[in-house]
Structure 1
Amino acid sequence: MKYIKMLFLIFIGIILSFIICSANPLSIEQAVEISIKQNPKIIQASHQLKASYEKISQAKSSYYPQVDITESINMTTNPMWAFGTKLNQENIQGTDFDPAKLNDPETSKNINSTLSVALPIFDSGQTLHNVRQAKLGEKISSLLIEKTKQQVIADTIIAYENLLLAYENLSALKSAIITSNAHLKIVNSRFKNGLSVKSDLLRANVRICSLDQLFLQTESQIEILKSVLNSSMGIPIDTSFELTSRLELKKTINESLEKLSEIGLSNRAELKQIEYQIKIAKEEFSKAKALHLPYVNLFGNYEINTKDLSGSANNYNIGAMMTINLFTGNRISSKEREAKELFNEIEVKKKELTQGILVEIKQAYLSAQSAYKRVCAAKNSIKEAEEALRIVKNRYEEGISNIVDLLDAESTLHKVQTDNLATIHDYNVAFVKLFLACGSINETFK
C-alpha cells in the first residue's frame, strides 16, 4: 500500500511538473513589471492624482467671470409685484394708476430671461490660497503613487519569494518521501528476516504517512500562494505560470544602520507628504486671517421681460460692490485658531512618523542581519545531517542502531533542509522590507 502511495505522489509530481512547464515563464522582474502596470492600488492612486489636477482647475475658476443665464415664469396678485412687473414689461397704462387696480390688481404674468455676470476683483486672497493648497494636494497625490508603487513592488517580491519557498519545501518533501520509502524497504526486509520487530515497521509507516500529509498541505499552500501573487500582479487569480527565478540570497547589505536611516528619512514618501501637509496648514491659517480683508466684485445683469412672448422689454444693471466684515461672532478668529491647532497637530504627527520610520528601518535591518547569520550557520548543517543519516542507516542495517535513531536522522535532515530554505527566504524578505522602509525600492530592485 505504501509503495502505491509513493508511486501516486510521484505521478502527481510528474503531472504538476508537466503543467508548470506548459505554463508561461515568470521571473521575479517580470512579476514586478506586471504588478506596476496592473495592480489595482496603483491604478486607484493614478485616478486620485488625476482628480487632484481637477481640484486645481476648480480653485483657479474663481479668477474668471461667472456667467449664468436664468429663465423663469411667474404669476402674482401682489400689488407691488404686479405693478413692478408691468413696469419691467414697459406696459404701464394710465388706467393702471386707478387706486382700485393698484390695491387689488388682476393676476400679472411675466416671463423673464436674465444674463448675469459676476467678476471677483479681490476676494481677500481666498482664491490664491485655494490654488496654492490645490497644487500642494496634487504633489501629495503624486507622492501617493510613488508610495503605493513601492509597497506593491515589495508585496509582489515577497509573494514571489513565499511561493518559491513553498515549491522548494515541496521538492524537499519529495526527497524525504523517497528516502523514507527506501528505508521502509530496509525495515521490511529486516522484519521478514526476523532481524527487527513489527513496531519498527509500524514506525516507518507512520513516518511516511506524516510526510504524505505534509506533501498534500504544501500543495494546497502553493495554490493559495499562487493566488496571492496573481492578486498582487493584478491578474486573474487562477492564472498559471512557471517560476524562473530561484530561491537564493540577494546581495548583502553593505550600508550601516546609520546610513540606511539617513536614506530613509530622505526618501520616504510619507515624510515628503507630511511636509506638504504642513504647507497646506500654513496656507489655511493665512487664508483664515485674510478673511478680515475686503471683498470687491463687479457685477452686471441684462434681462428681458414679456407677458406672452408677443412683445418684450429689456434692461440692464451694472455695478461694483465692496464688502468689509465688521463682526462675525468670532467666526474668523475661531477659524484662525482652528488652523493653528491643525498645524500643530501635523507637526507632532511628523515627529511620530519620523520615529516610526527609524524603528521600522532598525527592525528590518536587524532581521536581515539575523537571517544572514542563520544562513551562514546553516550551510554546513545540511552536509553534516546527510552524513549523520548515512552513518545511522549503515548502523541500522548492521543491527547496531535502532529504528528511532534512523527516523530521527531522517527528520533531522529534512528539518535542516527546510530550515536552510526558510533562512534564505527570511533574509530575502527582510532585505526587501529594509529597502521598502528606506523608501529606495523601485521597479529595478533586485
Structure 2
Amino acid sequence: MRLARWGFWLVFLLVARVYAAEPLTLEKAQKIALAKNPYLKAAEAQVEAAAAGITRARSAFFPRVDIRELYQRSDSPVYVFSSKLAQQNFQAKDFELDRLNYPSPLTNLKTEISITQPLFNRGQEITGYRKAKINHEMALFWRKAVKQRILYETESAYLSLLLAQERIDVMKSAVETARANLKTVSARLAQGMALRSDYLQAKVFLASLEKELLDAKAKAKIARSRLNVILGVPLTKEWIPQKVSLSFVKVPDLAFWTQKALSQRPDLLAEKAKLKLAQEEVRGAKLNFGPAVNLKGVYEYNSEGIGGAQGDAFTLWAQVDFNIFRGFGDKARLAEARARELAQQAQLKAYEREVYHQVEKAYLNLLTAHKQVKVTEAAVAEAKEGLKIVEKRYREGLTIIVELLDAQTALKKARLQHLDALYRYRLALTELKFRAGTLSGGDQ
C-alpha cells in the first residue's frame, strides 16, 4: 500500500513538472533576455547618466544666481565704519576720533544676491558640452552593442538547448534500434544460428548507448540552465523550446559584410567616438591658453535689525583673466592630450583590423558549415542504407555481429554530425550578423 502511494505521488510530480514547462520561442526568449538581463540594465543606466551629463554641461552656459545671508556683530573700527556706510547711516559725529577708534559694537544683517554670467572661460564650457555629447553617443553605442551580444548569446544558448534535445531523440532512436537488434541476436542464439559472444556484444553495445543517452539528457539540463542564466530566470525553469528554421539563406559576399561592420558595428562606432573625445581634449588643451571672461552683478541689503538703520546697493563688473604662466603645466597638458589622441588613433586602427578579421572568420565559418550540412546529409542517407543491408545480411547469417554494431554506430554518428552541422550553420549565420553589427531580434 505504501509503495503504491509513493508511486502515485511520483507519477503526479512527473506529470505536474511536464505541465509546468512553458512553451518558448526564440523571439520570446530574446524578449525575456532583453527585459531581465542585468548587463543591458547597466548599459541603459549609463545612457541615462550620460544624458544627465549633457544637461549638467549645458548648465555652464547659463547665469549663476546665488543668495547669501550674513549676520555680523563686532566693535572692530574698520567693520563698524564700513557697516554704517553700507547701512547708509553714517553721520558727521562718526568722524570723531574716539568714535572711530573705539566704536560701540554694531550688528549688520546682510542679504546678498549675486549673478554671474560666464562668457568664455578658456573654452571649458564649450569643450565640456561637446565631450558630454560624445559620452552620450558612446553610451548609446555601447547599449546597442550589449543588446546585440545578449541577442547573440540568447540564440546560441537556445540553439544549444534545441540541439541537446534533438541529440536525445537521436540517442533514443539508436537505443531502440539496438534493442531490436538484441532481440534478433537473442532469437538467432535460441535457434543455434548465433554465438553467445554475439549476444553479449549486443548487450554491451546497448548498455553503451543507454549510457550515451543519459549523458545527452544531462547535457540538455546543462543547456537549459545556461539559457536560464542568460534569460535571468530561475535556473530550474522548464521550457518547451520551439524549433527554428534551419533552412539555407543566400547571403551577400564578404565585402558587403565588412562594409556593414566598419560602418555600423556599435562597439567600433564607440571606439571612433573615443577618438573624437581625445580630439576634443586636444582642443580644450589649446583653448586653455586663452583668457577667462565673466560678467557679474551683486545686489546687497544691509540692516541693523528690525526697525534699525538699513541701506542697499548694487555693483556690476566685468572680469578678464589672462593666462600668463602656470609653470609649463598647460603646455604639458596639451602634449599629454596630443599623445592620447595618437594612442587612440592607433587603437582604432587595430580595432578595425580585428573587426575585419572577425567578420571574415564568421563568413568563412558560414561557408564551411553550409558545405558540412550537405556532406553530413549525404552521410546519413548512406548510413541508413548501409544499416538496412547489414541487418538483412545478419538475419540471413551472411555477416557477423561486429559489422552490424559498426553499422549502427555509423548511423548514430552520421545523424549526430548532421544535427551538429545544421545548428552550426544557423549559429554561424547569426554570428556573421553579430560580427557585422546587423543582428536584431525576432529571426526565427
Counterparts of 2:325 and 2:143 in 1: how far apart (Å)? 44
> How much has 1:395 moved relative to structure 2?
3.0
Q: Is the 8 A contact 1:25 1:241 kept in 2?
A: yes
Contact 2:26-2:442 at 8 Å conserved across structures: no
Q: Which amino acid aligns with 2:298?
A: N
2:268 paired with 1:271: yes
Residue of 44, 50, 53 corresponding to 1:52: 50
Answer whether contact 2:394 2:404 (CA < 8 A) is retained.
yes
Say whether the 8 Å CA contact 1:247–1:424 is kept in structure 2.
no
- Within a 5 Å distance, the mapping from 1:222-233 to structure 2 comes to 222-233=220-231
CA distance in 2, matches of 1:363, 1:146: 22
291, 296, 300: which one aligns with 1:294: 291
- 2:74 and 2:223 map into 1 onto residues whose CA distance is 74
In structure 1, stretches of 5+ residues that fail to align are 1-10
Partner of 1:28: 26
The CA distance in 2 between the partners of 1:247 and 1:211, in whole Å, is 29
Q: Would the alpha carbon gap of residues 171 and 97 (structure 1) be closer, same or farther in structure 2, given more than 3 Å must change?
A: farther
The separation in 2 between residues aligned to 1:47 and 1:318, in whole angstroms, is 43
Tell me, in whole angstroms, the C-alpha distance in 2 between the residues paired with 1:312 and 1:418. Answer: 99
Does the CA-based 8 Å contact 1:386-1:413 persist in structure 2? yes
Contact 2:30 2:155 in 1 (8 A): yes
Kindly provide the amino acid, as one letter, of the partner of residue 254 in structure 2: L
Contact map agreement 1:113 1:305 (CA 8 A) in 2: yes
How many angstroms apart in 2 are the aligned matches of 1:222 and 1:45?
31
TM-score, normalised on structure 1? 0.84
1:194-226, CA deviations, whole angstroms, 9 ceiling, x for partnerless residues? 444444333333323322232222222222322
How many Å apart are 1:133 and its aligned residue? 1.9
Measured against aligned partners, the alpha-carbon deviations of 1:242-294 in whole angstroms (never above 9, x if no partner) come to: 222246234143x2223322232222223322333222222221111111221
Residues in 2 aligned to 1:86 and 1:206: alpha-carbon distance in whole angstroms? 111
Aligned position for 1:251: 249
Partner of 1:262: 259
Could you say if the C-alpha distance between residues 116 and 381 of structure 1 is closer, same or farther in structure 2, counting changes exceeding 3 Å? Answer: same
Map of 1:216 onto structure 2: 214
Deviates more, 1:387-396 or 1:339-348: 387-396
Match of 1:152 in 2: 150
CA distance in 2, matches of 1:88, 1:193: 127
Kindly state the Cα deviation for residue 64 of structure 1 after the two structures are TM-superposed.
0.9
Report how far residue 137 of structure 1 moved. 2.1
Shift of the 75–240 alpha-carbon distance from structure 1 to 2, 3 Å rule, reads farther
Residues 96/417 of structure 1: CA separation in 2 closer, same or farther (3 Å cut):
farther
Aligned position for 1:181: 179
User: Match of 1:271, as an amino acid?
Assistant: L
**Structure 1 pair 312–444 and aligned structure 2 pair: CA distance change class (3 A):** farther
Give CA-to-partner distance per residue, 1:90-137, whole Å, 9 cap, x none.
Answer: 78897997779958x998876554333211122233211221222222
Using the alignment, how far apart are the partners of 1:366 and 1:425 within structure 2? 16
Cα distance in 2 for residues equivalent to 1:272 and 1:379: 41
Residue of structure 1 aligned with 2:131, choices 123, 128, 133: 133
More displaced 10-residue stretch of structure 1: 70-79 or 380-389: 70-79
The 2-side partners of 1:106 and 1:195 are apart by 133
Cα deviation 1:383-421 (Å, max 9, x = unaligned) = 221222223223333444333222222211111110000
- TM-score normalised by structure 2 residue count: 0.85
SS at the partner of 1:245?
A: coil
Please report how far the alpha carbon of residue 429 of structure 1 lies from its aligned counterpart in structure 2 after TM superposition: 1.2
Residue 329 of structure 1 corresponds to 327
**Do the aligned partners of 2:109 and 2:305 also contact (CA within 8 Å) in 1?**
yes
Structure 1 residue 74: deviation in Å? 6.2
Query: Any idea what SS the aligned residue of 2:326 has?
Result: coil
Contact 1:164–1:247 at 8 Å: present in 2 too? no
Alignment of 1:300-311 (within 5 A): 300-304=297-301, 311=308
Equivalent in 301, 317, 320 of residue 319 of structure 1? 317
Mapped pair 1:164 → 2:165: no
- Matched with 1:69 is 67
- Is the 8 Å Cα contact of residues 161 and 247 (structure 1) preserved in structure 2? no
Q: Describe the shift of the 1:189–1:63 C-alpha distance in structure 2 as closer, same or farther (beyond 3 A).
A: same
Flag the 1:39–1:257 CA change in 2: closer, same or farther, 3 A: same
Q: CA RMSD in A?
A: 3.3
Q: What amino acid is aligned across from residue 266 of structure 1 in structure 2?
A: S
**Kindly tell me: are residues 252 and 213 of structure 1, through their superposed partners in 2, closer, same or farther at Cα, counting changes over 3 Å?**
farther
Q: Aligned runs of 1:83-122 on 2, under 5 Å?
A: 112-122=110-120
Q: Is the 8 A contact 2:81 2:100 kept in 1?
A: no
Deviations for 1:50-80, whole angstroms, at most 9, x for unmatched residues? 2222111111111111112234556778776
Structure 1 stretch 172-181 or stretch 265-274: which is displaced more? 265-274
| 1:176-197, Cα deviation, whole Å (9 max, x unpaired) | 1111111222233334444444
DSSP 3-state at the match of 1:117: strand
Q: Secondary structure at the match of 2:296?
A: strand
Q: Residue 303 and residue 382 in structure 1: after superposition, are their counterparts in 2 closer, same or farther (change >3 A)? A: same
Aligned pair 1:280/2:272, yes or no? Answer: no
- Please report how far the alpha carbon of residue 237 of structure 1 lies from its aligned counterpart in structure 2 after TM superposition: 4.0
Shift of residue 348 of structure 1?
0.8
The range that moved more, 83-92 or 148-157, is 83-92
